[in-house]
């Protein structure tokens, strides 16, 4: 089944579920009128359906590869990226001062969803560039902004983020890459970075690497990390890429999926770099890019969920197998297949609503300067990332199940969705780390942001939802009172419970706005709220039971 961009569904969620009208009512985003939103979503949908979706299988069958030190990308990817860049989609939310559109993040996420559904391996490239633009806007000098951001927006140059090293995975503070002052305002960056998405390509004039490294006087741990811009080719004063920098792609990873996206091992040998932000404050600058990417990766999970769901429903509506109670006689009339398909629809809708609610909160924070909106966006970010990617994985694997034996056959395309989406629960901070962030950093306010969000949910006139909100408030109070080990032990189920309560609330809002959605909302509430209760019970179980067994007993 060909991918069809869910333009009307995106509009419905923005207009009737997450209150995008509040964003459009601000002075900063006054240009995001209904007519503008419709035009943007329609055109991005057309691009995704007609230009990008045909590339998805090409990227899987013909992976990016390293040839004599040069990355060769999958057939058609260069033209696909050019179409994304020419449409202005790279700089949708970027500052107009440097050539961006200055549009809300919510619209960027909606467009990214469609592009990701069409071809996730290619969409990862713009996602990295968008995150780098935001980081440079927030932390770079005027000179770096003026030189790099316009080129990134135009698509002439691409951006990456370089955090991970072989000995330092999620423990970024253990990195060893060093930066020595050259005496002229630049630095010599030396070290190796791994898992660098789109670390190189054969269609950009330059690749701009944001690299975490340590200055000679740096303190140990994350407090001693600085951030540097290290371009593949050193630009001259006019911005023309000149001499090659002393960096290279050592190898590309052979991956389970996302074959069209080159994941590089990068080597820096005294490469020339420029400091971004203050010395030893690199993590703060990089977290700007990472937080952008975390929401973006949650949307990637949603992207695959939507595409896999469409694929599975198309198959279920055509495949005839066994006897059914009535209807068209296809497998969609079997109760178990219908259960799987409805589960897909329920969770995909919830993941979309969570992501868009998060984006709206970030937009409102930017437009109003209100700390409450910023806190809401920060709280929703790990939920959007973890639930969005978990949903993508679950919907993709259920899609294989709907296809039956044909789902295990590569030619149907069902398996690629699962292979491609699986990494999204790992990169940009594993989903376990997202959950730990939620119960740790995001509850450092004593739970104030969580309680405010729960107050909002409790306004929905539904007894079952209100009871679940009350129980989730109690669990939040329990979390706030515990030490970190007990919080972390229940972090994943706590996040899952929060996501399911949010999802039920969004389904009820949708039904209130459109009564034809009432039946789906009934199914959603009947499934999501009991699941939330089970997750809440696990969230309060504490760490003692996890450590009752010794390491030797676990390994036995």
Catalytic residue numbers read 428
Measured between alpha carbons, how far is 94 from 130 in angstroms, rounded to an integer? Answer: 8
Measured between alpha carbons, how far is 191 from 202 in angstroms, rounded to an integer? Answer: 24
Measured between alpha carbons, how far is 312 from 340 in angstroms, rounded to an integer? Answer: 10
Beta bridge partners of 264: 196, 252
Contact 265, 249 (CB under 8 A): yes
Beta bridge partners of 230: 209
Sign for the CA dihedral angle at 26, 28, 31, 33 comes to negative
Residue 244 carries which DSSP code? E
Q: What 3-state class would DSSP assign to 260?
A: coil
Q: Rounded to the nearest 10 degrees, how much is the dihedral formed by the CA atoms of 61, 64, 67, 72?
A: 110
Report the candidate in 533, 379, 363, 359 with the shortest Cα–Cα distance to residue 452: 379
The DSSP annotation for 8-75 comes to HHHHHIIIIIS-THHHHTSSTTTT--HHHHHHHHHHHHHIIIIIITTHHHHHHHS--EEETTEEEPPT
Measured between alpha carbons, how far is 188 from 190 in angstroms, rounded to an integer? Answer: 7
**In a 10 Å sphere around its CB, with 0-12 CB exposed, 13-18 middle and 19+ buried, how is residue 549 labelled?**
exposed
Long-range (24+ apart) CB contacts under 8 A made by 550-556 are: none
What would the two tokens of residue 129 be?
């560039």
Contacts of 519 (CB under 8 A, 6+ apart): none
- What's the distance, CA 106 to chain centroid? 13
Measured between alpha carbons, how far is 532 from 469 in angstroms, rounded to an integer? Answer: 10
Contact 224, 246 (CB under 8 A): no
In this structure, the number of other CB atoms found within 10 A of the CB of residue 339 comes to 13
Contact 386, 543 (CB under 8 A): no
Angle among Cα 405, 319, 525 to the nearest 5 degrees reads 90
Contacts of 453 (CB under 8 A, 6+ apart): 376, 379, 380
**In a 10 Å sphere around its CB, with 0-12 CB exposed, 13-18 middle and 19+ buried, how is residue 53 labelled?**
buried
Measured between alpha carbons, how far is 496 from 434 in angstroms, rounded to an integer? Answer: 11
């Amino acid at each position: 089944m060909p991918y069809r961009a869910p333009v009307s569904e995106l509009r419905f969620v923005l207009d009737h579920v997450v209150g995008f009208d509040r964003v459009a009512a601000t002075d900063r985003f006054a240009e995001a009128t209904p007519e503008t939103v419709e035009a943007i979503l329609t055109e991005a949908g057309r691009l995704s359906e007609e230009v990008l979706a045909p590339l998805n299988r090409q990227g899987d069958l013909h992976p990016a590869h390293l040839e004599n030190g040069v990355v060769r990308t999958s057939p058609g990817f260069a033209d696909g990226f050019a179409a994304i860049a020419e449409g202005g989609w790279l700089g949708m939310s970027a500052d107009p001062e440097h050539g961006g559109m200055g549009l809300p993040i919510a619209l960027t996420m909606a467009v990214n969803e469609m592009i990701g559904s069409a071809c996730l391996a290619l969409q990862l490239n713009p996602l990295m560039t968008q995150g780098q633009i935001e980081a440079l806007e927030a932390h770079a000098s005027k000179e770096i902004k003026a030189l790099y951001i316009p080129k990134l927006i135009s698509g002439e140059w691409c951006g990456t983020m370089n955090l991970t090293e072989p000995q330092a995975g999620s423990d970024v503070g253990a990195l060893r890459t060093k930066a020595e002052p050259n005496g002229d305002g630049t630095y010599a960056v030396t070290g190796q970075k791994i898992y660098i998405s789109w670390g190189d390509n054969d269609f950009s004039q330059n690749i701009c690497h944001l690299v975490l490294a340590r200055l000679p006087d740096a303190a140990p741990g994350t407090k001693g990390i600085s951030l540097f811009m290290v371009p593949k080719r050193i630009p001259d004063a006019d911005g023309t890429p000149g001499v090659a920098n002393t960096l290279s792609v050592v190898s590309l990873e052979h991956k389970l999926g996302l074959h069209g996206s080159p994941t590089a091992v990068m080597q820096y040998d005294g490469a020339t770099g420029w400091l971004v932000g203050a010395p030893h404050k690199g993590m703060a600058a990089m977290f700007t890019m990472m937080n952008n990417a975390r929401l973006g990766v949650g949307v990637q999970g949603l992207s695959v969920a939507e595409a896999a769901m469409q694929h599975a429903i198309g198959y279920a509506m055509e495949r005839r197998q066994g006897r059914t109670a009535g209807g068209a006689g296809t497998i969609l009339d079997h109760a178990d297949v219908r259960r799987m398909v409805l589960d897909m629809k329920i969770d995909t809708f919830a993941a979309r609503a969570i992501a868009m609610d998060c984006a709206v909160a970030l937009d409102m924070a930017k437009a109003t300067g209100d700390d409450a909106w910023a806190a809401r966006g920060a709280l929703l970010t790990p939920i959007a990332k973890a639930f969005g990617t978990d949903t993508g994985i679950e919907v993709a694997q259920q899609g294989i199940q709907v296809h039956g034996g044909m789902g295990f056959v590569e030619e149907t395309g069902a398996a690629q969705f699962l292979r491609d989406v699986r990494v999204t629960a790992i990169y940009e901070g594993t989903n376990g780390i997202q959950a730990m962030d939620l119960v740790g950093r995001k509850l450092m306010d004593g739970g104030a942001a969580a309680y405010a969000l729960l107050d909002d949910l409790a306004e929905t006139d539904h007894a079952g939802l209100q009871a679940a909100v009350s129980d989730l408030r109690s669990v939040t109070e329990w979390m706030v009172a515990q030490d970190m080990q007990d919080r972390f032990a229940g972090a994943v189920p706590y996040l899952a419970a929060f996501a399911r309560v949010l999802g039920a609330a969004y389904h009820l809002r949708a039904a209130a706005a459109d009564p034809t959605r009432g039946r789906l909302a009934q199914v959603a509430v009947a499934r999501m709220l009991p699941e939330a209760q089970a997750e809440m019970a696990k969230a309060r179980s504490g760490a003692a039971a996890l450590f009752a067994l010794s390491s030797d007993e676990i390994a036995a």
